[in-house]
Structure formats: structure tokens, C-alpha cells
Amino acid sequence: MTFGPSLKERQLVPVWFRCARALSVLVLSAAFLALPSGFTGLASARSTTTSVADLAERLLPAVVNISTSQTLSAERMPDLPQFPPGSPFEDFFKEFFERGAPGNPHGGRRATSLGSGFIIDPDGYIVTNNHVIQDADEITIILSDETALKAKLVGRDSKVDIALLKVDAKRKLPHVEFGDSDRARVGEEVIAIGNPLGLGGSVTTGIISAKTRDINFGPYDSFIQTDAAINKGNSGGPLFNMDGQVIGVNTSIYSPSGGNIGIAFAAPSNLLRQVLDDIRKYGRTRRGWLGVRIQSVTDEIAESIGLKKAYGALVASAEAGSPAESAGIQSGDVIIEWNGKEVKEMRRLPVMVAETEINQSVPVVVWRNGERVKIKVKVGELKDDEPLPVAGAEEGAGAADQGAIVQSLGFSLLPLGQAEKKRYNIPDDAKGMIVADVLPSGAAAEKGIRPGDVLVEVNQSAVASVAEVEEQVKKVREKARKSVLLLFQNASGMRFVALPITG
């Protein structure tokens, strides 16, 4: 048995190796001669590393670790584990849960959590996530030099998961500044600094993977997605651009295992900056308010109203006394521009309105009856009890009595009387025709139209009879459109549906 090459093989190796080496030298020489003058690829790599190190050295002192503690009351503590009667474990856990942990004779149990934050003002104002300090009895800030300071809560906003803290350090503190998150581009390099898994002062790098992500967190979702390593404990920490400016606050990660898999989300600085300014000035958030219920513009809806592409926010209804109603915004309008910026998709409008200064008059462009219409809107202030601006579908009740069938739409209609309004909890001032039955296999059923829905408009024209409905459908056919725009009302409000015309 041999463990190395044979004599013949050993004799051939040097010849092959010399040929390969000579060939590689020729290739590398040719490649080097072909490089453009002034090429500094290796130097650029080193300078990038150096720039990250320089930035980290400058930014680290402004990033803090946050430690919180709270007392869990008896109502919030877990149930006592079940052990056999007389078991020593039964006595131990009973004492622990009823009297509290050792050193806490007043009952309840102490719970701690760790997170991150960053200083935005030399006087000691610190930003973090609301969920980092939520329900905390004590908040401790640990600076980069290991100084521990007690912090007080200035204010919070749960809708964007942000909180503002204040410490008294008896000295000016290093701080960082916000940048323009709207100017950040997909593919740009970013730096995250924080306290992952309790390891303070950790620096990671990555790129911006996407922008304006909606992760179903709240009504103002517009997250920056990054592949920089973000783990538990990074929450509330800053996401920096390569100029050392904060363009986001690391808020959430997507991970089946709970660890980093390269998908993390940061709330954009442009959304948070005004929120933090309001908290600092007023102790609460003041958001712009328009007063409309809106829904997405689908390809079918766009085709039915003559829009060349599906974008903007379709107004289902405008609240009475709202800025929208005062400005003349109507049901059926599609808001396609807000304050000089295109509304690329429906969910962007609430964010754009919320960021607008209260009492400011802004230009708005709507799509109405096949034309662009310019409107001026004076922005109001959103109250906490205002409903969300998104109009959704509502499941209806069971089948009703048969009515006059509209074959081309796949449902039947009945006149809307007081009995129907009471039965389906429809407002007294509602007008139109009530849906009596829906073809189970038709497009209307697929679109969520249910018995009890009130058909208010067809082709943006009010209808009060089946004949008027069929007349509007005929007009849509004459324009060679494949879908007709319908406005429905039910107990949850108004919504538009683009329905394909059959027959």
C-alpha cells in the first residue's frame, strides 16, 4: 500500500507544475498590463475598510446600551407548574411565585431586558425603540465608557415603535445626527451599531436591500431592509450611512430561528425625526390628518377609470368636516400626487400625510373623470381615536331574498329600505341598491361582495335602480373597457371594487 505518488508520477509533477506556473505568470502579466492607468483596486478595498473603522471609532461613543427592569405582578406571572403533592419542587416554586424571587420580599418577580439606543443631543436626549423600554420600572443607560445613568421617559409613539429618553450626565455627551433616509439607495453600504445579545458596542456592516417595506407592523410601515447583522439586543440602535448619519432605527428582524439570517428592518429617519421633535416639544406626537378612507388601485380599477398604470390611493369616502371634504376631495378620486411627490402606492399616502406639518396648505393632484385635477388641502391634526385610513372588505351575512339579477355583474339587487338597513346595520342616510344574492362561482364573490352590501355607485355615478346600473354598464362597454368600477357601502364603510363585465 502506498500513501504518496509513484516515482513516475513524482517525475511528471515538476514538469506540469513548471508549465502551469509559467502560464499563470504570463496571464497575470497580461492582465496587469491591461489595467487602466491609476488603477487602485487593492487600495480602494483597504480605504473602504479604513473608512468603516474611522466611522466606527467616531460613532461608537454616541451609541448606548439600555438595560430595563420591571416587577411582574401576580396577574402577569406564569402559572405554577404542576408537581406531585408533597414534592420538594412544589414547595420551592410555590414560595418563589407567591413571595417573589430571593431579595424581593414584596412579591412579584423582577424581569430585565437589554436593548440599544443612541444620543441625538449633547444634553442627554436618547432615542430607542418603544418596545425596548415598554412597561419598564427602571431604565438604565450605559455609555461607551461604562458609565451607568438612570434615564427618564420623555415620550413615546407605539405606532412607529419609538421612544425618547433623557439622562443627566453633568457633562456634554457625544451625539450623532439624522440623515435623509429618502436619499438612501438600494445597494448602499450601511453600518449598524448596538448591543446584540448583550454584547455592547458591536459594529456590523451590510447594504440596503430594499426600501419602503410593509411588514404589517402598523399604519405607517415604510421600513428600510438591510442585510447587516442584526440580532436580539440591536433593537433601538442606529443604522448609519457612510457619512456617519443616522438613516434608520433598527426595529425588527425576520428570522425563523430568532437569530440573524440577513433580513432586518429599520424605521426611516425621515419618518421619525418629526415624531421625535413633537415628543420633545409637546410630549406627544402630532401627525397630519386628511380624513379619507382609501384603498389600493389595482390594474382592473386603473383600467376601469382610464389610468395608464395602477398607482395612487383610491378615495372610498371622505369624513364629514375633514380637511379632505373641505378641500373638495370626493369619493372615487384617486390621489396620485401629494405635496409635489407621486403617490406610488396606496400605503405610502398615510405616511406622506403624517409627515406633513399641521395647518400647512399643500398641493394635491387627483385623478377624476379621466383628468388630473389640482386641489389645495389644509392639513389637520390626527386624533388618537381617528379610524385608520384604509378601507377593507367586510364579510357579509347569509343569503337574502332573490332580487332583480344583473347578469353582467353576477349578483342580484333589491331596493334599499328601512328593513334592509336595520337588518344589515346600514346607516340611515345610505342610498343605492342592496345586494340580495351573489353568484357563488362568479367574480363578484371572489372580490368579496356579499349579501347586505349596498351598491352606491356604478362608473362613479349614483344608482337607485337596476335600470340605472345596466345603463352605466352599457356606457363602460361602449368605451371598450373590460371592468366597471363599483362603490359599495356596508357596516364597515365604503370601498371600491373593479368588477370584470361578463356576458
Task: Return the pLDDT at 470.
Answer: 86
Give the separation between CA 166 and CA 128, rounded to whole angstroms.
11
Q: State the cell numbers at 307.
A: 389610468
Whether the predicted pLDDT of 156 surpasses 50: yes
Task: Return the pLDDT at 418.
Answer: 77
Of residues 111 and 160, the one with the higher pLDDT is 160
Average pLDDT over the chain reads 80
Would residue 161 show up in a list of annotated catalytic residues for this protein? yes
Task: Return the pLDDT at 198.
Answer: 82
Range from 41-50, 88-97, 282-291, 373-382 carrying the lowest mean pLDDT: 41-50
Task: Return the pLDDT at 48.
Answer: 54
Task: Return the pLDDT at 211.
Answer: 93
Q: State the cell numbers at 316.
A: 372610498
Contact 217, 249 (CB under 8 A): no
b/e burial code for range 452-469 (CB count within 10 A of at least 16 → b): bbbbbbbbbeebeebeeb
Local confidence band at 181 (pLDDT 50, 70, 90 cut-offs)? very high
Which one from 113, 202, 235, 331 is the annotated catalytic residue? 235
- CB burial of residue 298 (10 Å; 0-12, 13-18, 19+): middle
Give the separation between CA 28 and CA 476, rounded to whole angstroms.
69
Which one from 67, 131, 157, 304 is the annotated catalytic residue? 131
Task: Return the pLDDT at 392.
Answer: 45
* Cα dist from 24 to 12, 20, 34, 36, 481, whole Å: 19, 6, 15, 20, 66
Phi, psi (degrees; rounded to nearest 5) at 288: -70, 150
Task: Return the pLDDT at 285.
Answer: 86
* Entry pTM: 0.61
3 state SS of 150: strand
Whether the predicted pLDDT of 6 surpasses 60: no
What mean pLDDT do residues 163-175 have? Answer: 94
* Cα dist from 183 to 188, 245, 287, 340, 387, whole Å: 10, 12, 22, 16, 31
Contact 295, 496 (CB under 8 A): yes
Would residue 175 show up in a list of annotated catalytic residues for this protein? no
**SS3 letters across 403-424:** CEEECCCCEEEEECCHHHHHHC
Contact 240, 228 (CB under 8 A): no
Task: Return the pLDDT at 323.
Answer: 95
Of residues 462 and 255, the one with the higher pLDDT is 462
pLDDT in tens, 325-374: 999 999 889 999 999 999 998 888 988 898 888 999 999 999 999 999 99
* Cα dist from 184 to 148, 212, 225, whole Å: 34, 11, 11
Phi, psi (degrees; rounded to nearest 5) at 84: -60, 145
Whether the predicted pLDDT of 503 surpasses 90: no
Single out the residue of 120, 145, 128 nearest to residue 67, CA to CA: 128
Of residues 126 and 26, the one with the higher pLDDT is 126
Which one from 67, 116, 144, 161 is the annotated catalytic residue? 161
pLDDT in tens, 260-277: 889 999 999 998 998 999
Task: Return the pLDDT at 224.
Answer: 95
Give the separation between CA 435 and CA 402, rounded to whole angstroms.
9
What mean pLDDT do residues 42-64 have? Answer: 75
